[in-house]
Amino acid sequence: MSNDLLTASRATRGFASGPLLVLLAATLWGTTGTAASFAPQGASPLSIGAATMGFGGLLLLAVAGRSALGVLRSGQAGLLVTGALAVAVYPLAFYSSMALAGVAIGTVVTLGSAPVFAAVLERVLDGVRLDGRWAIAATLSVLGLLLITGGGPAGTGSAVVLGALLGLLGGAAYVVYSWAAARMMRGGHGSRAVMGAMFGCGSLVLLPVLAVTGGALLGSASGLLVAGYLALVPMGLAYVLFGAGLRHTSTSTATTLSLLEPVVAALLSVLVVGERLGAASWLGVALIGIGLVLVSTRR
C-alpha cells in the first residue's frame, strides 16, 4: 500500500510540475480572442499579434534579468536564434492566416497541425517514439478542434490557399520554438532565462512590425489597455508557466495540451462576447477534453 501511495504521490507531483502548468498557460492563451474583441475598430489582427508577443517578449526578458545573459553567452546560439526567429514568425503567420483564410481555417490549420509537426520533429531529431495513447489523444483533440471551428465562414480562391499555407507555417513555428526552448532547458538553463532570452530576441523583429501596423491599436486608451493585458497575461504570465512546464513535458505532449486554448476561447465567446455554439462545437469541446485527459495522464 505504501508503494502505491508513493507512486500516486510522484504521479501527482509530475502532473503539477509539467502538464498542469502547460494547461494553465493554454487557458490564459484562450483569453486572447475575447480581449482582442475590445480593441478599437481598425486595429489589425497583425498589430495585435505583434503587440502581444513583442511587448510580452520584453517583459519576459525583464523577468529573466541577468540570467538571460547566460543564455545569450552560451554555446547554444544556434538554438536561441532558431527559437527567436520562430517566435517572430508565429504571430505574423497565424494572424495573417486568419485574415486571408478566415478564423476557422486559420485556427484549424495552425493549432491542429502543431501536434503533428511536434511528433515528426521529435521523431527525426530526438529519436522519440510516440505511443498509441498519444496518437489517440492527438486525433481526438484535432477532431474536436475541427468541430469547434468548422462552422466559421470559409472563402475561396488563392487567398484561402495562401492562408492555409501560412497556418502551416504558424503551426511549425510554434513547435520549433517550443522544441528549441525545451532543448536549451535540458542543456542546463532555467526556464525563465531561456524564455526571456528567446522571446526578447524575437521581439526585436516584432516591435518594428508593430510600429508600422499598430497605429489604430496604440492610438487610443482602449487599445493600450488591450495591448497591455495581452502582453502581461496571455504572453508574459502564460509563457512563464509554459516554460516551467516544458522542463517536465515533451514538446509533442505540450503542443497537444495547448489545444485547450480553443476550448477556453469558445467558452469565453459564449459567456463574455455573447456568441452561440452549436451541438457540433460542444461535442468538439468534449473531445478535446478527453484528449487532454489522455495525454496529461500519460506516463
Average pLDDT over residues 62-72: 88
pLDDT tens, position by position, 258-272: 878 777 877 787 778
* Closest C-alpha to 271, from 33, 107, 14: 33
Average pLDDT over residues 112-132: 78
Q: How many CA atoms lie within 13 A of 252 on its CB side?
A: 25
Residue 125 has pLDDT above 70, yes or no: yes
This prediction has a pTM of 0.77
Has residue 180 been placed in a domain?
A: yes
Q: To the nearest whole number, what is the mean pLDDT of the chain?
A: 80
Has residue 7 been placed in a domain?
A: no
Residue 81 has pLDDT above 90, yes or no: yes
Q: Please give the Cα distance from 277 to 275 (Å, whole number).
A: 7
Has residue 5 been placed in a domain?
A: no
Has residue 12 been placed in a domain?
A: no
For helices 260-268 and 19-29, angle between their N-to-C axes, nearest 10 degrees: 40
Give the pLDDT of residue 294.
73
Q: Please give the Cα distance from 13 to 237 (Å, whole number).
A: 21
pLDDT tens, position by position, 153-170: 444 467 777 887 888 899
Domain residue limits at 248: 18-296
Total tally of structural domains belonging to the chain: 1
pLDDT tier at 109, thresholds 50, 70, 90: confident
Give the pLDDT of residue 3.
58
pLDDT tens, position by position, 91-106: 888 878 877 776 666 7
Has residue 9 been placed in a domain?
A: no
Has residue 8 been placed in a domain?
A: no
Question: Looking at per-residue confidence, does 144 or 228 come out higher?
Answer: 228
Has residue 123 been placed in a domain?
A: yes
Give the pLDDT of residue 152.
47
Q: What is the dihedral of CA 277, 281, 287, 291, to 10 degrees?
A: -80
Q: Please give the Cα distance from 174 to 28 (Å, whole number).
A: 16
Average pLDDT over residues 172-201: 90
Has residue 6 been placed in a domain?
A: no
Residue 10 has pLDDT above 50, yes or no: yes
Q: Please give the Cα distance from 61 to 215 (Å, whole number).
A: 25
